[in-house]
Structure 1
Amino acid sequence: MTTRTTTSAVLEPAQREKLMAVAREVHFDAGVRLFEEGRCADRFWIVRTGTVALDVRVSAHRTAVVETLGHGELVGWSWHFPPYLWHLGGETMSPVRAWEFDAETVRAMCAARPEFGRAVAAWVGATVAHRLHASRIRLLDLYAPHGGTA
């Protein structure tokens, strides 16, 4: 899947190579919580295989899935913006193979190389915009009154 939020859609080949130089391969079983809303966002992933569901807390005991991510998609953007706390939760829906990145390392690379930093910021920004739209649509589907007018 190639969307406007994959690295191949936003980063130049040399920039992707620079980013991938600090990646490490990880594997997760289905049903693993990768992160929780409100906790420290110290890493992020690019999915190689499998699917990850992003969810948002809608009550103390309930979450709603707002988007499902697959091959090539960025999992996590909260690492890029202070205070570096997750805005959503994430859970593997199937076995997942991914590249994992240390957020502090990538932020330091961005600071040291402004052109690289702008490209990463554009990639993360496109992801945030896409996720905001997807979350809004999904929550309207789940909770908005249907067929009525105010």
Structure 2
Amino acid sequence: MKISIGNDHAGPEYKKAIVAMLKAKGYQVKNYGTDTDASVDYPDFGHPVASDVAEGKADYGIVICGSGNGIAMTVNKHPKVRAGLCWMKEIAYLTRLHNDANILCLPARYTSVQQAMEIVETFLTTEFEGGRHQNRVDKISCK
């Protein structure tokens, strides 16, 4: 499975731990994120992740910024992207189960690294339920 990941200055520590976990599990990872805490603009790292997912170059994306909101707004501008802001694993479970989210947005300032890794694990191992939810997912994209 291919995962694209991007982060701003709030997330280098998170990204490093998540990438190590993903690689240990055999995932291919494309890293667009910054590796320092020097101030950067989250759209510069979110757009490439969203493009990879929208174009089928990645199965899923993971994006990280301080609150998770700015980068979520950024990636959700892309067609075919359904990004969910998840601050606990139960939200990650539901955003995959009911919304078929394909990008996970993490709020680095509101979760610990350990929590973030649990959220990632839940997100990547939860299958979309389909059924009654498919019609709703179909209505998300503007036509």
Q: TM-score, normalised by structure 2?
A: 0.29
Larger radius of gyration: 1
Normalized per residue, the structure richer in helix is: 2
- TM-score w.r.t. structure 1 length? 0.28
Between Structure 1 and Structure 2, the one with more strand by share is 1
Q: Taking CA–CA contacts closer than 8 Å with sequence separation of 6 or more, which of the two structures ends up with the larger relative contact order? A: 1
